[in-house]
C-alpha cells in the first residue's frame, strides 16, 4: 500500500481511504468492483456519510435464556414503605394508637407518592380510612364510657 491510499481497513471488505480518493480499493479502481458492498448503506434522505438507521435487535435475552421479543419494559414503580406501614397499622389498631399512626403515615405517604411517582396510593388510602374508623371507634368508646358512668 502506498502513502496516498489512506488508512488500512479492518473490516475485510477491501475498502481503503475515503470516498473519492484515488486508490479506494486494492485494485486501484475509484468505484467498487462488481458485486462489492459499499462500506455502509445510506438512509434515504440522509446526508452523505451518515449511516443507515439500525433497528433494535428482534429478541432480548429473557429469564432462563429464553428470548423476549420487542422492547424491554420499564420496571414497575417502587411501593412506598409508609403506605404499607399505614395500612398494616390501620388493620392492627394496637389499642387505637395504631389508628393515629396509620393516619399520620397515610397522609405522609400520599404526599411522597405524588412527589416521587411511587406505587402504593391504594394502601395509603386504606390506611387513612382504617385510621379514621379506629379513631371514630375510640371516640365512641369514650362517649359510651362517659355516658355509662354518669
- Domain that includes residue 140, residue range: 81-149
CA–CA separation, 50 and 73 (whole Å): 30
Are 90 and 131 a contacting pair, CB within 8 Å?
yes
Say yes or no: 92 and 145 in one domain. yes
Maximum distance among all Cα pairs of the chain, rounded to whole angstroms:
114
Say yes or no: 28 and 85 in one domain. no
* Cell (9 digits) for 20: 473519492
| Residue 61 pLDDT class (50, 70, 90 cuts) | low
> Does residue 93 lie in a domain region?
yes
> Does residue 68 lie in a domain region?
no
Q: pLDDT exceeding 70 applies to what percent of the chain?
A: 52
Are 135 and 103 a contacting pair, CB within 8 Å?
yes
> Does residue 111 lie in a domain region?
yes
Say yes or no: 139 and 88 in one domain. yes
Q: How many domains does the chain have?
A: 2
Instruction: Indicate whether 33 pLDDT > 60.
Output: no
Instruction: Indicate whether 8 pLDDT > 70.
Output: no
Weakest mean pLDDT among 28-32, 106-110, 115-119: 28-32
Task: With 0.85 as the threshold, say if the pTM is over it.
Answer: no
pLDDT of residue 89: 95
Amino acid at each position: 500500500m502506498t502513502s496516498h491510499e489512506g488508512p488500512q481497513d479492518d473490516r475485510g471488505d477491501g475498502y481503503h481511504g475515503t470516498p473519492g480518493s484515488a486508490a479506494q480499493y486494492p485494485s486501484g479502481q475509484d468505484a467498487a468492483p462488481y458485486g462489492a458492498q459499499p462500506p455502509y448503506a445510506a438512509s434515504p434522505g440522509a446526508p452523505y456519510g451518515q449511516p443507515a438507521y439500525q433497528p433494535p435487535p428482534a429478541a432480548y435475552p429473557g429469564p432462563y435464556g429464553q428470548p423476549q421479543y420487542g422492547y424491554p419494559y420499564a420496571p414497575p414503580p417502587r411501593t412506598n414503605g409508609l403506605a404499607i406501614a399505614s395500612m398494616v397499622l390501620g388493620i392492627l389498631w394496637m389499642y387505637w394508637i395504631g389508628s393515629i399512626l396509620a393516619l399520620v403515615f397515610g397522609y405522609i405517604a400520599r404526599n411522597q407518592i405524588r412527589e416521587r411517582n411511587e406505587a402504593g396510593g391504594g394502601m395509603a388510602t386504606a390506611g387513612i380510612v382504617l385510621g379514621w374508623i379506629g379513631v371514630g371507634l375510640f371516640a365512641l368508646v369514650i362517649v359510651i364510657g362517659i355516658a355509662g358512668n354518669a
